[in-house]
Structure 1
């Protein structure tokens, strides 16, 4: 019986190739999106889930309130580790993870020559307890003694293969590695090799060596660094309360004076390992994920799949009048409702299966074309059981829900009506339901169209708005501070470039707009009152203000000096300290925590220091001869065609000054664009989702227009005989669909307005949502709908009425 169903199904699908293709294409796009998003979401939510006893592991993190704002930080003071007593109730073990920066690692090559690995990543200092907490499989060495000497180091298998690709693992132990840091050089001996974790984990280290004696004896509780993190493992049936009580009591005792002086509140909390991958504010540099983004992706997948299912239901129910004779004959020959339903389920399953097969190459094509959306490590992650379960479940759900309503309609066909020639009057196959489905499709598409338009407008606004400084034709390069060239005076390179006429200006200093912060607290005393303000700092040389054309609205430039003694401030700082106007601030003294006084000698107009999600904050510009981190080079804007040659000249001079460091530069406008990388990805994703929504909706609209034109063949022929024009017939066939799109626009507009307002709340400087945005989106949707249905409408309108009436 089933074999017979399959044969009949394949014949029917081939006979109706157009609608079969439309159904398969629509479903395959929805399945492709759903499958790709499932892979991303499954990967992100798999982090640390396979970690044995992961529910008992916590990261100690810092919370603080300063100037009314609460924030979190993943780093801890070095003094916490030595103070923790293993006898604290419920505490089983403590493991520090102190990330280490190395300029390079040098090793003896297979041919006797030294090989160098520049700036290797994922190196940490830790204790043997780390290997009790993280279940590495040991290939060589003993976890109890691998870190028992200060010159020992343990490698993961992947790092061992990187360093010694031609040596068997057994020969790697006792090999020597020379580590070059910013301060010293240390030779370490490999004491063990562990297998890389075979599941997504927040523990990403590849090299491990012992924590230094100084760090183990530290009593410092004031300074925190995001590279110094601490993990604890509690005993079964115990929480972290006793551990946190101990830490916070110590913190209260040792930092009371500092907190009272700076009106600062700080305490420590425990972040569970299960939450760490989604806690971006506590990240020490490891990649994190945003749960809201993942839930948004799930929503997009649901809507796209729903659109594809609606598309199938619309096309299938619209074809039922043409299949009424087939259904009537089957019922006359004794087919039961159950048999008809089973046959239709088999037909739907075949279409869904073909769509699944087409979705496989589409998913691969998407991964290659839009690789920026694919998380790092996903290609190596295979959760086969979840993938099989999801594929089977998705196939079953799509088949069941897509076939449910059309199958029910099939069972309602009355044989008597078919024999009377009334097969087009299938009870229950009401046009109103199909119209509702079309409206739902275009509501979703319209929300995405409006969203894509508003996001694009906000990005355009952020990139075109006056930043408060000039960055046209500016390239920037970091001053080498990680390599062997770090001790070279950067002013030598500046002097080399000043002789080139095709370079308009050059300055040393911080980038005016970036998301890194150099901050401090400053005080101003007036009468008996004392005002305290958190201030950002930027350093530049004597050419810095002129280079970026900051608007100096009061005072003068600062005089460069080895020791900082003059401040240039912005308008936001003037307001924060309560000065009535910029001129009043000139000559006033600001004090740091050590009571050292600094006069304000100039005020510049506010300019943006961070992306548009942040308000302009109080700022001090210091004219300095040190603490400069970037070369700012302005090319001659009148000769852009010569820029490539100029950059080659700059690189040539760079190699003479910094032979050990590559010349890596960026145009500053590109750097500013990169600050909005997340928003740009969101825009691309919404645009992609919008395109898919429109394609799926138009596939259904095209199919329905084709069927409508077919079903109204006789009517169109009669109208033409009675003198109807081609434009009138096209308008007749198109009007119904345009009305549906207009209804969808009315429903979608308030939904899109609410959603986009929520998204724009993250921006301190944002566009205002205007009526014309909705108008453009509506016109676009109507235009797309008209283009979709007009081809079939025109085809029906120009047909010879004699042929249509003779066919009837």
Structure 2
């Protein structure tokens, strides 16, 4: 009954003071919503692959090759690698191979409806024990039988609906690359969003013996590394992992490979940047800190306003204490009020979280299954957030209010009691200091991203479209390219093996003298790409007719330096595999990778325009330079029509070169997005708190303002009087925040080989934003108080 009375009293106070209730509940809800969204993202990223029953015992195998200045991680092995490892390691309980040819596209076609066909990238040949090794749900079929027989396939539910219109498709057939027919033996659930292994179609390993292009792959080739299979090992005990790695290292040495084995727990594959390009664990660790800061800001608002309002309820507390209530019962009352406010804020935050979730994950370019929202860990975090909020929001206000002395209160001496004024000043400084740090960090992060996208890379990316093609283009590529080049608006065309920023080959070569092996990135392109992308010569070929000869190579400046070529490098030789090639030209360094790292050695293999490399069962990429101010959709429609005339299997795709370059900075885009929006939220929460304190200050000094106006004080003087204390606190916060932000951003920028310098204007702009926000927040209340009628003010008792 007593609890019900406390709740009823709390509700009356909430309805009576609408402005303060809005600031308290609204600010707390905004902070909780931001915290929920960030933690949902963090938990999702850290939950990758933990749904497998034996996730603690499953490892992905890599070969790590240490070079002079670089390290490579390879995950492609031959057909015998996994079996050899199991034979020599009793701790290896079982293994799985998952293979496909990265350079070969896979076209699937419904046998019953040939018009339904598409390229299926996540298609893998795998072993029969796939569904007992992993814990992916199988909707239809026996997990021990579905992949045993040759030319059987297990497809995902979405693929089943795509090709057959339903998921009950056992016994139906798909045609593989126009030649081989696979029978559907099982249907699996779509891979969850927190799975590193994304497979739409699984083809039985035993089928490979019946596919002409696959026979050589499983022909019994001995060795360790290869080009086809990913290998996963399941150990009997994770404690044996180190011993297994040592045994695999001996196997590598016996096969004359230069690398060392690395076994990565499957639960770490997604969060390790070495094995998950574009992922940055440091940013993931930073986001919970941002969430905690935002929630802290909201709680500071609540506690500041609750203690500030103490004098307004002082008489109530004094009367209750004089009638026998002890400080415990008073504390309980205010704790119940805080709990009610926190619960209402939590419910509002849940609603906001559901509304903003699609936008938030779109901002992060992230897919999260709806079912993950009800994951036990997510629900536990939500409950924990509610409990923490209730605990912190109610603790300090209930303690302060319950300790008031009734003698001081009832004798009218409450004004002599500070009521936590000093604490409120500290909290205000902390709040705006945190906001200032986030503002500065957001400015620096966005400037670094701007630098990435606008820095001189040595490549002209404007109006360049990349059109990948597959081996299905056949011998028609030259005709295709000629017709595209003839279109109005097309200035130039060129060809390369890979799209720029979409891949390159890697060779290990020796320099002059006794230098250790060095990694040499290799791009294969025709001569036209030099002019199309604006690559600059450092030392042009003495004879341009040598370009395109198989025993010639072009290097960049970094490669020349790394090989130790002194003086004029043209005419020098390097060993490229078992072939000796002559350096006939040197291009100036250009960024063929992201600006995260320094420019590394690069070789350019120049192919003739009419070589059989392009088309003729080999994939590649055509580059199209488009004239300015063209109708791009109309032009791409024309190119697509030409493409369809020569390749009826592969879907038409294109990418703008500048967009491909921009995608290299996905992790930084996520960081900038979160920092940008949550910095705005932090500033708004700070402004709400300042608004509430300004309103309370004006209310407390109503009679003083009235007296001053009667004595001739102007509106400007009174506004300045009410504002200067808050502005002083904001300035103190900025003085404290600036060196903190400088240190944090200096450390963050150190990770980039190419970076901006911290400039004074960044800190000045942050100060202007913070001070302007503060003035706007307190201005309305101070001006309202300053222009009020002094007669009404002097009537207040």
| Corresponding residue for residue 343 of structure 2 | 353
In structure 1, distance between residues paired with 2:638 and 2:186:
48
Alignment of structure 1 residues 409-808 onto 2, 5 Å: 409-426=400-417, 429-478=419-468, 480-481=469-470, 484=472, 486-500=473-487, 502-509=489-496, 513-514=500-501, 516-525=503-512, 533-556=518-541, 558-559=544-545, 563-581=549-567, 584-600=568-584, 602-625=585-608, 626=611, 627=613, 629-637=620-628, 640=629, 642-808=631-797
| Corresponding residue for residue 107 of structure 2 | 104
Which one of the candidate residues 265, 275, 278 is aligned to 2:271? 278
Distance 1:328 1:683, change over 3 A: same
Distance 1:37 1:164, change over 3 A: same
Distance 1:590 1:99, change over 3 A: closer
- Residue ranges of structure 2 left out of the alignment (5+ in a row): 210-214, 615-619
1:303-342 per-residue CA deviation (whole Å, 9 max, x = no partner) reads 1111110010011111111111222222233322222112
Which one of the candidate residues 183, 201, 205 is aligned to 1:189? 183
Q: Secondary structure at the match of 1:240?
A: helix
Alpha-carbon offset, residue 791 of structure 1: 1.6
Q: Secondary structure at the match of 2:465?
A: strand
8 Å CA contact 1:452–1:686 kept in 2: the answer is yes
Distance 1:620 1:62, change over 3 A: closer
In structure 2, distance between residues paired with 1:522 and 1:246:
28
Distance 1:546 1:361, change over 3 A: same
| More deviation, 303-312/738-747 | 738-747
In structure 2, distance between residues paired with 1:614 and 1:317:
52
Distance 1:218 1:572, change over 3 A: same
| Corresponding residue for residue 201 of structure 2 | 207
Alpha-carbon offset, residue 14 of structure 1: 0.8
| More deviation, 358-367/447-456 | 358-367
8 Å CA contact 1:95–1:232 kept in 2: the answer is yes
- Residue ranges of structure 1 left out of the alignment (5+ in a row): 260-265
| Corresponding residue for residue 268 of structure 1 | 261
In structure 1, distance between residues paired with 2:60 and 2:338:
51
Distance 1:665 1:296, change over 3 A: same
| Corresponding residue for residue 364 of structure 1 | 354
8 Å CA contact 1:153–1:208 kept in 2: the answer is yes
In structure 2, distance between residues paired with 1:796 and 1:340:
33
How many residues get paired? 776
1:759-781 per-residue CA deviation (whole Å, 9 max, x = no partner) reads 21221110011222112211221
| Corresponding residue for residue 149 of structure 2 | 149
8 Å CA contact 2:68–2:516 kept in 1: the answer is no
Alpha-carbon offset, residue 662 of structure 1: 4.5
| Corresponding residue for residue 45 of structure 1 | 46
Alpha-carbon offset, residue 646 of structure 1: 4.1
Distance 1:543 1:186, change over 3 A: same
In structure 2, distance between residues paired with 1:378 and 1:195:
13
| Corresponding residue for residue 64 of structure 1 | 65
Alpha-carbon offset, residue 686 of structure 1: 0.5
| Corresponding residue for residue 292 of structure 1 | 282
In structure 1, distance between residues paired with 2:579 and 2:239:
47
Q: Secondary structure at the match of 1:568?
A: strand
Alpha-carbon offset, residue 548 of structure 1: 2.1
In structure 2, distance between residues paired with 1:25 and 1:274:
38
| Corresponding residue for residue 10 of structure 1 | 11
In structure 2, distance between residues paired with 1:175 and 1:496:
40
8 Å CA contact 2:509–2:577 kept in 1: the answer is yes
Q: Secondary structure at the match of 1:348?
A: helix
| More deviation, 655-664/613-622 | 655-664
| More deviation, 333-342/702-711 | 333-342
8 Å CA contact 2:698–2:781 kept in 1: the answer is yes
> Once superposed, what is the RMSD of the aligned Cα atoms?
2.9
1:189-247 per-residue CA deviation (whole Å, 9 max, x = no partner) reads 2334456678954444343333235555533436444x622122222586134533432
In structure 2, distance between residues paired with 1:308 and 1:252:
59
